[in-house]
C-alpha cells in the first residue's frame, strides 16, 4: 500500500512512525521566532534519526479543553518551521491543523500531508486540499475540542466512527480528492471515554475499509485512566497499543517517543509478516 503525495509516494508496506512536532509557545521556550525554528528543526532532525518517516507540525493544541489560536498566529508559527524542515531535511511533512488558510500556507511551504482532526469539514477545506494535491488524514471527533470530553455518547462506537469516516471519504472523492491520497483515523480520545477508545483499538482491522489507518495514542488520558500513570509514565502503555494496532494492520502511528515506538512496531510487523507467510 502507498499514500499518494504531491510529487512522490509514501510506501506503507511497513508501518511508518509520525513524529509529533508541536510549535506552540509552551512547547519551545520562547526566545523569539528564530530560536523557536532552530529548536523545532533540531527536534525534527532527532526524530528522523530515531526512525520517523513523517514529521507532524502543529501550531494549535487540540488537547481537551485547550483554547483556540488565531489563523495568522498559527500560520506565523508553523510556516517557518515547515520551510526549514523542507530546506534542511528529507522527510514527509504533515501539517496538523483544522484551518483551511493554515493548510494552504503550510502546503505552499512544503507540507505534503494535511492531518485534520476535523476531517476537512471546515468551509473551504476540501477545496484547499484538492488544490494542494496533498494527502489527507481524516480523523473522527465527536463534538469540539473544548467540550468533547464532557459527555461522549455512542450507541455503537465502532459503527458510528466507521460510518463517519466513510462519509468523509465520500466527500473527499466528490470534491476531487482521490482515495489514493487518503488515510483514516478513529481519533482516540477525541470525544470518547475509555470504553470507546478500547472498543476502537480492539478493532483497528475493521476501521480500514481499504484505506491506511493512522492511530495516535501517545501520552493520552486513556493511560491515566487504565494505569493511573501521569503523562511522563505512559510510554509502556502506548507501546503496547502501537504494537497491537500494527498487528491489526495500522499503517501510521503518531507519537512523541519515536525510537521506542519504531522498535515496538518493527517487532509487531515482523510477527505480522511471519503469520501472513505461513
Q: Which positions touch ligand YH5 (CB under 6 A)?
A: 62-63, 96, 115, 117, 137, 139, 185, 187-189, 214, 216, 219-221, 231, 254
Taking only Cα atoms into account, the Rg of the chain, rounded to an integer number of angstroms, comes to 17
- Output the CA torsion sign for 255, 259, 264, 266: positive
Whole-number minimum distance, CB 11 to ligand YH5, in Å?
Answer: 19
User: Which of 43, 77, 99, 254 is labelled catalytic?
Assistant: 254
CA distance 226 to 228: 6
Residue 220: active-site member: yes
Smaller CB separation from ligand YH5, 38 or 171: 171
Smaller CB separation from ligand YH5, 23 or 188: 188
Whole-number minimum distance, CB 215 to ligand YH5, in Å?
Answer: 7
Whole-Å CA distances, 250 to 14, 67, 271:
10, 31, 14
CA distance 160 to 135: 24
Whole-number minimum distance, CB 29 to ligand YH5, in Å?
Answer: 19
Whole-number minimum distance, CB 84 to ligand YH5, in Å?
Answer: 21
Q: Is 59 exposed, middle or buried (0-12, 13-18, 19+ CB in 10 A)?
A: buried
Contact by Cβ (8 Å): 210, 233 = no
Enclosing H/E stretch for 199:
helix 194-201
Smaller CB separation from ligand YH5, 34 or 161: 161
User: Which of 168, 192, 193, 220 is labelled catalytic?
Assistant: 220
Residue 87: active-site member: no
Smaller CB separation from ligand YH5, 87 or 146: 146
Whole-number minimum distance, CB 177 to ligand YH5, in Å?
Answer: 16
CA distance 191 to 232: 23
CA distance 18 to 2: 15
* Cell (9 digits) for 116: 485534520
* Cell (9 digits) for 157: 462506537
Smaller CB separation from ligand YH5, 221 or 248: 221
Taking CB positions, which residue lies at the least distance from ligand YH5? 216
Which residues are catalytically annotated? Answer: 220, 254
Amino acid at each position: 500500500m502507498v499514500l499518494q503525495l504531491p510529487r512522490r509516494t509514501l510506501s506503507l508496506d511497513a508501518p511508518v512512525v509520525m513524529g509529533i512536532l508541536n510549535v506552540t509557545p509552551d512547547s519551545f521556550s520562547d526566545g523569539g521566532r528564530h530560536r523557536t525554528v532552530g529548536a523545532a528543526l533540531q527536534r525534527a532532525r532527532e526524530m528522523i534519526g530515531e526512525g520517523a518517516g513523517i514529521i507532524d507540525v502543529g501550531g494549535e493544541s487540540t488537547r481537551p479543553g485547550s483554547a483556540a489560536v488565531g489563523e495568522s498566529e498559527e500560520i506565523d508559527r508553523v510556516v517557518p518551521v515547515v520551510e526549514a524542515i523542507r530546506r534542511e531535511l528529507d522527510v514527509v511533512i504533515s501539517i496538523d491543523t483544522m484551518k483551511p488558510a493554515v493548510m494552504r500556507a503550510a502546503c505552499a511551504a512544503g507540507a505534503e500531508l494535511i492531518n485534520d482532526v476535523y476531517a476537512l469539514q471546515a468551509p473551504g477545506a476540501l477545496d484547499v486540499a484538492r488544490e494542494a494535491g496533498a494527502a489527507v488524514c481524516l480523523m473522527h471527533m465527536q463534538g469540539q475540542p473544548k467540550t468533547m470530553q464532557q459527555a461522549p455518547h455512542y450507541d455503537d462506537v465502532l459503527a458510528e466512527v466507521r460510518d463517519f469516516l466513510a462519509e468523509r471519504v465520500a466527500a473527499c472523492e466528490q470534491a476531487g480528492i482521490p482515495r489514493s491520497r487518503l488515510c483514516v483515523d478513529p481519533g482516540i480520545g477525541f470525544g470518547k471515554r475509555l470504553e470507546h477508545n478500547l472498543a476502537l483499538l480492539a478493532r483497528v482491522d475493521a476501521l480500514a475499509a481499504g484505506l491506511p489507518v493512522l492511530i495516535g495514542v501517545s501520552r493520552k488520558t486513556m493511560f491515566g485512566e487504565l494505569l493511573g500513570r501521569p503523562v511522563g509514565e505512559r510510554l509502556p502503555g502506548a507501546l503496547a497499543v502501537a504494537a497491537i494496532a500494527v498487528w491489526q494492520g495500522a499503517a501510521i502511528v503518531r507519537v512523541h517517543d519515536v525510537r521506542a515506538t519504531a522498535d515496538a512496531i518493527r517487532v509487531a510487523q515482523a510477527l505480522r509478516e511471519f503469520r501472513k507467510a505461513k
